Chains A and B, each alone.
Chain A
Amino acid sequence: MLLETLKNDFNQYKAQAEKGSFLELREQAFAEFEGLGFPTTKHEEWKYTNLKQITEGKFNTTCIINPEVKTLVNSLVYATLKANLLVFVNGTFVSELSIVIEADNAIAIGSLAAMRHTHKETFEKHFGKYASNQNQALTALNTALLSDGAFVHVAPNKTVANPIIILNITDASELNVLAQPRNLIVVDANSTATIVEAYHATGTNASFINVVTETYVGENAHLEHYKIQQQAGESYQTNFNQIFQEGNTNINHVTLTLDGTMVRNNLHYFMNGQNSNSLLYGLYITDTNDFVDNHTRVDHAKPNCFSDEKYKGILKDKSTAVFNGKIMVHLDAQKTNAYQRNQNILLSDDATINTKPQLEIFADDVKCTHGATIGQMNEEQMFYLRSRGIPENEARKLLLNAFADDIAEKIKIPELVALLEQQIDQKL
């Protein structure tokens, strides 16, 4: 059972860990996790997400780097882009596969395990301040047992010209593997950065990756964050990203989930200042028996902010998806504009989507809308294309690609979008 493995792992870690505040933080986190246990379907937030395959499984935290992994990394588009590339295999930073082209006094890009020492002040200022362990079993678990992850700090008034790619590979060729990467992204006032968080898997055994990312966006800063999940094989992922943004900020977050046996994403924004814009876009294409669950939450805590959320899904075979979008408009958040849409196309009678918008509005001068659609192909559009000589299959593909590419095109790296659109086309 996974719980036993984790207890042993933590005891081993405690025995050799350096005494200090970091260890204390992790002890508290593990205690929180033990108290809560893994979430079950009896918890409202996990109603549709069954973690049995994980909790009853046997996973190892191994660091053996298979030579095949290098071939895999080099075959990905990320190796061809002009970018800062951080490669993690089973949660461990692999410097020989990574390359940082833009680090200087003001831009830090590297491994968390190393930089929490070299950039101690930033680390202590932000780590653990945004993603709470309280009542969050998987966040607590990650805090307690994190191995490594990405550390990005952009000092004020800087633009990181090239994307920062955080590439996580789970290598389950020898054993079932468990990885718990922890990312800390700090973009200070007036700065700009683009983060690509990508997931691939190799090997025929099972993998479970439990990711937690904390993101701080300072006043006037701009962040583009793209999460691209393409883990083949038997792969399970839980991914929690807590974003804390100050006033006058612009954030564009795009989640593309194109593969994975089970993926659960939690994306939370806390809008801590006025006049900010937050965009949340998502696309999930599921097939066979796959399961994708997107839970989002946008806290409008201050007035005059704008948030727009659009998640689209294409479900095939016997796959299942969940969308739960919460918008919390706090008492003071007057003149909030918050929009949310979830659009789903079911391509089989056995596919299932559970969609639930939740709006809690405490201010009285706001504009909020939400909408969800679940349907098959638009018959009028199909007939129009067919009436022009385009056969039914081609017409369907054209429309499905248009539906999906709408989200893919929110990513502002053209070479990446071109490849993703090809991969999306192959899945349809």
Chain B
Amino acid sequence: MLEIKDLKAEIEGKKILNGINLVINPGEVHAIMGPNGAGKSTLSAVLAGRADYTVTGGEVTLNGKDLLELSPEDRAREGVFLAFQYPVEIPGVSTTNFLKTAINEKRKYHGQEPMEATDFLKFMREKMEQMEMDKSLTSRSLNEGFSGGEKKRNEVFQMAMLEPTLAILDETDSGLDIDALKLVSNGVNKLRSPERSFVVITHYQRLLDYIVPDFVHVLYKGRIVKSGDASLAKELEAKGYDWIKEEVEANAQ
């Protein structure tokens, strides 16, 4: 479904991604781990379409379409969802209004009629129950005054509402305590399906105890230097990133 071929990207002249190759099939959960500065956030930013990054080589296709040609809103409407590491607050825009607009924009893009107001509310209530979200959430302004955990749970709730085919979780575990982590992970696990793929970007292995991946890739200096299954994450936890760095240096010689 998602094919990344030799992707290179930089920001303000600094090279960050130096040739990423990755294939993600429907229903698969891929974890991307790596030390700080490896390029994890850059990868998610480039996939989501942030303007400050420049793609200098390679290609990314989503179901055969050139993803890099699409605007951020079109990528979303094609089924990409990015759960932000630091979700921004938007005072004055209610969560309800925001989600209704987003859903209807996607429907318009696909030539569908907008959802009726009553249908939307019913849909939202179902999803809130499924994701165990507090009722008060939806009348509040988007993320305003939310704790770190609440913001991350709100990202996963939006994912439930927007039903993407490719969900990218950008360091969703950062700033969360163990209880919040479990809640967020429960939510994500409920959304796993054969039609939906996940890219879980994380620095720590702990999240992957709860969201068990099918594949684990280690990103270092802008390249995927090692791939494996869920046990690779355990190995990293035991040995640390230095083990990978040493291996890469050794192979370079």
B158 and A388 form a contact (CB under 8 A):
yes
Residue of A nearest to B92 (CB): A402
Residue of B nearest to A378 (CB): B88
Q: Mark A393-409, 1 if CB is under 8 A from B, else 0.
A: 01100110111011000
Q: Which of B50, B77, B93 contacts A383 (CB 8 A)?
A: B50
Assuming the contacts A389-B102, A389-B105, A390-B105, asked whether A384 and B92 have C-beta atoms less than 8 A apart, the reply is no
Q: Which of B72, B92, B141 contacts A387 (CB 8 A)?
A: B72
CB distance from B67 to the nearest CB of A (A): 13
Q: Which of A378, A384, A391, A405 contacts B105 (CB 8 A)?
A: A391
CB distance from B153 to the nearest CB of A (A): 16
A394 to B109, CA, bound (A): 14
Q: Which residues of B lie under 8 Å from residue A383 when comparing CB positions?
A: 50, 72
Assuming the contacts A388-B98, A389-B77, asked whether A394 and B105 have C-beta atoms less than 8 A apart, the reply is yes
Assuming the contacts A391-B105, A394-B105, asked whether A386 and B91 have C-beta atoms less than 8 A apart, the reply is no
- Is A385 among interface residues, defined by CB-CB distance under 8 A? yes
B84 and A384 form a contact (CB under 8 A):
yes
- Is A4 among interface residues, defined by CB-CB distance under 8 A? no
A386 and B76 form a contact (CB under 8 A):
yes
- Is A381 among interface residues, defined by CB-CB distance under 8 A? yes
CB distance from B96 to the nearest CB of A (A): 13
B49 and A387 form a contact (CB under 8 A):
yes
Q: Which of B73, B75, B82 contacts A390 (CB 8 A)?
A: B73
B158 and A386 form a contact (CB under 8 A):
no
Q: Which residues of A lie under 8 Å from residue B102 when comparing CB positions?
A: 385, 388-390
- Is A380 among interface residues, defined by CB-CB distance under 8 A? yes
B93 and A388 form a contact (CB under 8 A):
no
Assuming the contacts A390-B73, A399-B93, asked whether A381 and B88 have C-beta atoms less than 8 A apart, the reply is yes
Q: Which of A384, A390, A392, A394 contacts B88 (CB 8 A)?
A: A384
CB distance from B43 to the nearest CB of A (A): 15
CB distance from B71 to the nearest CB of A (A): 7
A388 and B92 form a contact (CB under 8 A):
no
A114 to B239, CA, bound (A): 91
A392 to B72, CA, bound (A): 9
Q: Which residues of A lie under 8 Å from residue B50 when comparing CB positions?
A: 383
- Is B62 among interface residues, defined by CB-CB distance under 8 A? no
- Is B7 among interface residues, defined by CB-CB distance under 8 A? no
B82 and A387 form a contact (CB under 8 A):
yes
- Is B147 among interface residues, defined by CB-CB distance under 8 A? no
Most A-side CB within 10 Å, residue of B73, B76, B84:
B73
B73 and A399 form a contact (CB under 8 A):
no
Residue of A nearest to B101 (CB): A390
- Is B55 among interface residues, defined by CB-CB distance under 8 A? no
B93 and A387 form a contact (CB under 8 A):
no
- The total of interchain contacts (Cβ-Cβ below 8 angstroms) comes to 70
- Is B11 among interface residues, defined by CB-CB distance under 8 A? no
Complex interface residues of chain B between 66 and 113 (CB less than 8 A to chain A): 71-73, 75-77, 81-82, 84, 87-88, 90-93, 98, 101-102, 105-106, 109
A387 and B101 form a contact (CB under 8 A):
no
A385 to B88, CA, bound (A): 10
- Count of chain A residues with a beta carbon within 8 Å of a chain B beta carbon: 22
A14 to B219, CA, bound (A): 89
CB distance from B82 to the nearest CB of A (A): 5
B76 and A381 form a contact (CB under 8 A):
no
A380 to B88, CA, bound (A): 7
Complex interface residues of chain B between 113 and 159 (CB less than 8 A to chain A): 141, 158
A391 to B72, CA, bound (A): 8
- Is B48 among interface residues, defined by CB-CB distance under 8 A? yes
Assuming the contacts A387-B82, A391-B73, asked whether A399 and B90 have C-beta atoms less than 8 A apart, the reply is yes
B73 and A392 form a contact (CB under 8 A):
yes
Complex interface residues of chain B between 136 and 192 (CB less than 8 A to chain A): 141, 158, 162
CB distance from A351 to the nearest CB of B (A): 21
A402 and B73 form a contact (CB under 8 A):
no
A389 to B107, CA, bound (A): 10
CB distance from B90 to the nearest CB of A (A): 5
Assuming the contacts A381-B88, A399-B93, A406-B91, asked whether A387 and B48 have C-beta atoms less than 8 A apart, the reply is yes
A390 to B97, CA, bound (A): 12
Residue of B nearest to A392 (CB): B73
A390 to B90, CA, bound (A): 14
Q: Which residues of B lie under 8 Å from residue A402 when comparing CB positions?
A: 90-93, 141
B91 and A384 form a contact (CB under 8 A):
no
Residue of A nearest to B158 (CB): A388
Residue of A nearest to B143 (CB): A384
Residue of A nearest to B103 (CB): A389
Q: Mark A146-158, 1 if CB is under 8 A from B, else 0.
A: 0000000000000
CB distance from A154 to the nearest CB of B (A): 34
A401 to B91, CA, bound (A): 11
A391 to B71, CA, bound (A): 9
Q: Which residues of A lie under 8 Å from residue B93 when comparing CB positions?
A: 398-399, 402
Residue of B nearest to A391 (CB): B73
Most B-side CB within 10 Å, residue of A385, A388, A392, A405:
A388
A403 to B93, CA, bound (A): 9
Residue of B nearest to A405 (CB): B92
CB distance from A402 to the nearest CB of B (A): 3
20 A-B contact pairs sorted by A residue (CB < 8 Å): A378-B88, A380-B88, A383-B72, A384-B88, A384-B90, A385-B90, A385-B98, A385-B102, A387-B73, A387-B82, A388-B76, A388-B98, A389-B73, A389-B162, A390-B102, A398-B101, A399-B93, A402-B92, A403-B92, A406-B91
Nearest 7 A-B pairs (CB), nearest first? A402-B92, A389-B76, A386-B72, A388-B102, A386-B73, A389-B77, A380-B88
| Known interface pairs A388-B81, A406-B91; 6 further A-B residue pairs with C-beta atoms within 8 A, sorted by A's residue number | A378-B88, A384-B88, A387-B49, A389-B109, A391-B71, A398-B98
